[in-house]
Structure 1
Amino acid sequence: MAATILVVDDEIEMTSMLRNYLTREGYEVETTNSAEAALQFLEEHEADVVLTDLRMGEMDGMDLVRAVHTSRPETQIILMTAFGGVETAVEAIKAGAFHFVAKPVKLPEVGVLLTKALAERDLRRENRQLRQVVEERYSFGQLLGKSASMQRMFALLERLAATHSTVLIQGESGTGKELVARALHLNGPRSRHPFVPVNCAAMPEGLLESELFGHIRGAFTGAEVARKGLFQEAAKGTIFLDEIGEMPVGMQAKLLRVLEQRQIRPVGSDREVDVDVRVLAATNRNLEAEVQQGNFREDLYYRLKVMMVRVPPLREHPEDIPFLADTFLQRHTAEMQVGPRRFTRETLNRLETYAWPGNVRELSHVIERAVTLSDGEWIQEADLGLDFEPDPPRLPATSEGRPTPGVAQETFNLDQVTERLVMAALERSHGHKSRAASMLGVHPRTLTRMMRRYGIADEAEELLE
C-alpha cells in the first residue's frame, strides 16, 4: 500500500508541483493550505509523512511540527523554508521534525528525504514491536529482568501463582515487592476478585485491627455503624500485607489465628466470621533477626516462611540495568509524549556503575527525571542527577553485618547528616555554590539558607572568592 504524504503550504503553485511529482513517484498525496487545516485533516485521516512550509498564516510550520509530534509521534515531518538556515534546522529537529529542506526545493532531494523518513518510521515500529516481544519474554506481570536470578524468580512465581498458598515476599525497599504480589494475584485463580493492599506500618495497632477485621456498631467511640474489614473486602481475592515486619506483636497473634483457622473476629464482636482470601505478605526487614530480638512472633514467621520469595536488589543483577533503563526510557517518553530519547555511552556507563540504593524504583525515577530535563534526543550523564553520592554513616559491624556489641556507636540526627552532605558537596565542587546545589538537588538559594543555618556560610563564601 502506497504511503500517504500530506503537503502543507499556502502557495498553490508549490502544493500543485509537489502533488504532481509525488504522485508520479507512487505516493498518495493530500494537500492543505494552512497548518490549522492540516491538523483538522489529521484528526480524521492518517498520514505517513507531513511535508510542511515554515512561514504560513497564524499558525506556522514550527507550531505544526510540535503539534503533530505530540499527537502523532510516529508521523514523520519534513519542514520546508526559504528562511533561516542551520539554526532553523536544529530548532525544527528538536521540535520533532525528521529533517529540513531549503526552498526553492529540489524535487529529487525531497524524494530522497521521504524515502529516508519512511525507512526511519518503519525501523521505529520494528524496534517497538521487538521491545514488546522482549518484554513478554523477560517479564512476569510488570516485573522485568533477563538475568538468571530474575528468571529463577519468575519461574518460582509462576508455580506459586497457581496456588492459594500464603507467600512471604522479602526484599529491600524499591525492589518491587508489591509488583510481585500483584503478579501472583493476577496470574492466579483469584485474579477476577479484589486485590487489597494494606500498609501495616501506616496505622497504630488499634486502628489496624479495625481496618483488617472490621467492627460492629458501638465497638468504640465513633463507631456509629458496623463496618466490614479489609479481609472481607478482599473476599475470594487477595489481601497484601505490606511491611508486615512493622506489625505490632499483638496483631501478629491475631493474624496467625486468621491464617490457621480462616476466620476473623470484628472488633467488639463475640462471633467469628469465615473468610476466603489469599494472604500475601512483604517485608524489607530480616524477620529471622526480628524473631531473635523478640519483635516478631516465631510461630507466625515459620507459618509465613513455608512459601517465600526473595526479590534480589538491583546490585545483585546489574546485567539487567541496560534492559531496564531502556524499557523505562520508552515508557516515560511515551507517557510524556516527547520525541525519541537515547542514552549516550557515558550515560549508560554511569547507569551501569551506580550503586542504586533505591533499586529498580530509583532507576525508574532517575530515567523519568532525565527524560524531563534532557534537551534533545540524547540523554547526557548530567541529566541523570547522579553527580553526588554521599557515603552514608556506617556503624561498626560484625561479620554478619550487625552492630558490634559493646562498641560505641556514632549516631546522627537529620541536621547532622544534612550538614555533612552540604559540606561534602561544597568540598567536591571546590566551593562552587551552584554546582554544589545541583549535586544536592536543591536551588542555590536553598543551599545558601542551609549554609547559614549550619554556620558554614562565611567559610563557603571565602571558598567562592
Structure 2
Amino acid sequence: MHSIMIICPDHSLLKAAEKWLSRYGFQVNTSHTLEQANHYYELSEFHLLLVDQASLSQQENSQSQLPETPKHIILDARPSLTTGVNAMAQGAIYYLPLPTDSETLLKHVVNAIDQSDQTSNFVDNTPKNTPTPPTQEGTIELGTPGSGIIGQSPLMQDLFSDMRKIAGTDVTVLIRGESGTGKELVAKALHNLSQRHAHPIVSVNCAAIPENLIESELFGHEKGAFTGANTSHDGLIYAADKGTLFLDEIGELPLEAQARLLRVLQEGEIRKVGSTHSTKVNIRLITATHRHLVDMIRKGLFREDLYYRLYVMELLLPPLRDRGDDLSVLAEVLLKKACQKHHKAPYHYSKAFDKAIRGHHWPGNVRELENAIERAVILSPAERIEAANLKLANQQGATNRSNHSNNTQTSFATPPTGTTLDDYLKYFVLTHQHTKTETELAHCLGISRKSLWERRQKLGIAKK
C-alpha cells in the first residue's frame, strides 16, 4: 500500500482529498504545516507528499526545506507562473491549481508514484523547470529510451552527431522543426549532456504567456512596477542562472521583449521591469520555432540582430513521416507506455496495427502518434489492440474511398462542416496561420494569445 502525506491548512480545499484517496486504497496522513509533519512523522517513509502552497507561504524558505525524497506535488489556490517555476525548480514534481478535480489529481498522484517505482520512461515526464539530475557526457546514449529521444534512422543519427558536438559548448542553439517533433526533448538532452547538467533547465513556451505579461515573467519586476505588482520577483531568466534557458516558440516573442533578450545575450545581464539597475546572469540559451524567422524579419515581426545572435548553431528535426522504421519502434514503445499508464496488460504489437501506423501521414508528428496510441489503448478490448481505435483522419470513410482518394491527404483547411465556434476557430486558424503571427490570429479572433494556444491544444490544431 502506498502512503501519502497531505500538508495543508485546516481550511484548505486539498483537505477533502484525504477521504477519497483513502477510498482508492492509499494510506493517508495529514498535517497542518511542514514543521508539524516533520515533528510527528518521518517524511522519508512516505511515497508522496501533497502540499498546499499556503502552508509553505506561512514560513520563510519552507519550500526549500521540503525533503528531496519522497517526491512532492505542490497545489496552489492562487496559482501563478512564477510560483510554479520556483516550486518545480526546488524539487516539486507537479504544480497544480486548487481546486483540482479528483480525477486530475488522482492521475498526477499515480504518475508521481509510478515514476518513483520505475527507473525509465520513453517520454520525459519530469515537469518543466525541474533541476535535471547530474549526468556525465557519455552516460546518455542518444536514440535510446533513457535519453528521452528514440531513433536510429540516418536522419536522427545525423542529428545526434551534431548534438554531441554542440552539447559540450555554451553556444546558442536554434532548434527548428514541425510541431510535435520533440524540440523540447532535444533541448533537455543538450542540457543533460552539457557541463550545466547539475543546474536547472527552465523551459518557457513564449506563445502561452499573455503578451502584456511576458516581459515581467521573463525578466522579473520590482514591487509597484505596474498595477498588481504587489511583490518583487526575479523572473524566469534569473531562475535559469548557471543553467539552461529554453525558449519554445521564440517567433511569438513580442518585439519589446526581443530587445530585452538581445541585451541578455550581448551583456549577460537582465534588468527587471521598473528597476534602474541590472543583474548579471550566466545562462545557456536554446530556442525553438516552427516558423521561418527570415520571413518574419522581412515583415518586421522579428529583429534581425536578435536572429543572428540566436542563429549560432541550428538543429533541424525531421518530421516523423521521414524517419522510416523509427515510426514502428516509437509506436511500440509508446504502446507499452500507454498500457502502463492506464493499468492494462501489455498488448501485442501486431502487423495489422503497425500497418495502420505506417499508413498515416502524421502531420502532428510524435505528439499525434502518442495521443492516437493512447486512444487505441483506452478503446480497445482486453484481448487485442485494434487499429480502428486509433481514430486516424485517413481511416474515416475508408471503405468508400477509391484508390486515388486513398493517396490524397485530407485538407484540414476545407470550409467547416460543423456549426460550432470551435469548428470556425479551427478553420480560421488553419487557413490563416501561414500568413499571420499568433498575435495577429488571436487579435482577429478576439481572444488572447494564451487562449489561442490553449485552444490549439484542446482541438489538436497543429502549427505549420
The normalised TM-score by structure 2 is 0.55
- Describe the SS at the equivalent of 1:245: helix
Matching residue of 1:295: 301
- Going from structure 1 to structure 2, the CA distance change for 1:137 and 1:260 (only over 3 Å counts) comes to closer
1:243-270 deviations in Å (ceiling 9; x for gaps):
1100111211111111111111111111
Give distance in 1, aligned partners of 2:373 and 2:270. 44
Q: Is the CA contact 2:142–2:149 (under 8 Å) kept in the aligned structure 1?
A: no
1:392 aligns with 2:411: yes
One-letter amino acid of the counterpart of residue 143, structure 2: Y
- Describe the SS at the equivalent of 2:325: helix
1:389-441 deviations in Å (ceiling 9; x for gaps):
972256xxxxxxxxxxxxxxx9879849949x9xxxxxxxxxxxxxxxxxxxx
> Higher RCO, 1 or 2 (CA under 8 Å, sep at least 6)?
2
1:271 aligns with 2:277: yes
Give distance in 1, aligned partners of 2:267 and 2:311. 18
Q: Is the CA contact 1:342–1:377 (under 8 Å) kept in the aligned structure 2?
A: no
Give distance in 1, aligned partners of 2:217 and 2:161. 34
Correspondence for 1:329 among 327, 335, 341:
335
1:136-178 deviations in Å (ceiling 9; x for gaps):
5733721111100011111111222211111111111111111
Give distance in 2, aligned partners of 1:180 and 1:197. 12
Q: Is the CA contact 2:168–2:195 (under 8 Å) kept in the aligned structure 1?
A: yes
Give distance in 1, aligned partners of 2:153 and 2:383. 29
- Superposition CA RMSD, Å: 2.9
**Number of equivalenced pairs:** 275
Quote the offset at 1:336 in angstroms. Answer: 2.6
1:369 aligns with 2:375: yes
Matching residue of 1:113: none
Matching residue of 2:143: 138
Matching residue of 1:243: 249
One-letter amino acid of the counterpart of residue 330, structure 2: L
Q: Please list, as runs of the form range in 1=range in 2, the aligned pairs for 1:15-414 lying within 5 A after superposition.
A: 138-139=143-144, 141-386=147-392, 387-388=395-396, 391-392=410-411
Q: Is the CA contact 2:321–2:327 (under 8 Å) kept in the aligned structure 1?
A: no
Give distance in 2, aligned partners of 1:268 and 1:300. 23
One-letter amino acid of the counterpart of residue 380, structure 2: S
Give distance in 2, aligned partners of 1:340 and 1:359. 24
Gapped regions of structure 1 (runs ≥ 5): 1-128, 395-409, 422-465
Give distance in 2, aligned partners of 1:276 and 1:375. 53
Give distance in 2, aligned partners of 1:203 and 1:370. 33
Give distance in 2, aligned partners of 1:383 and 1:414. 23
- Going from structure 1 to structure 2, the CA distance change for 1:415 and 1:173 (only over 3 Å counts) comes to farther
- Going from structure 1 to structure 2, the CA distance change for 1:414 and 1:289 (only over 3 Å counts) comes to farther
Give percent identity, aligned residues only. Answer: 45
Structure with higher helix content: 1
1:305-325 deviations in Å (ceiling 9; x for gaps):
111111111112132111111
- Going from structure 1 to structure 2, the CA distance change for 1:162 and 1:413 (only over 3 Å counts) comes to farther
Give distance in 2, aligned partners of 1:171 and 1:137. 18
The normalised TM-score by structure 1 is 0.55
One-letter amino acid of the counterpart of residue 189, structure 1: Q
Quote the offset at 1:219 in angstroms. Answer: 1.2
Matching residue of 1:93: none
Quote the offset at 1:204 in angstroms. Answer: 3.3
Q: Is the CA contact 2:222–2:275 (under 8 Å) kept in the aligned structure 1?
A: yes
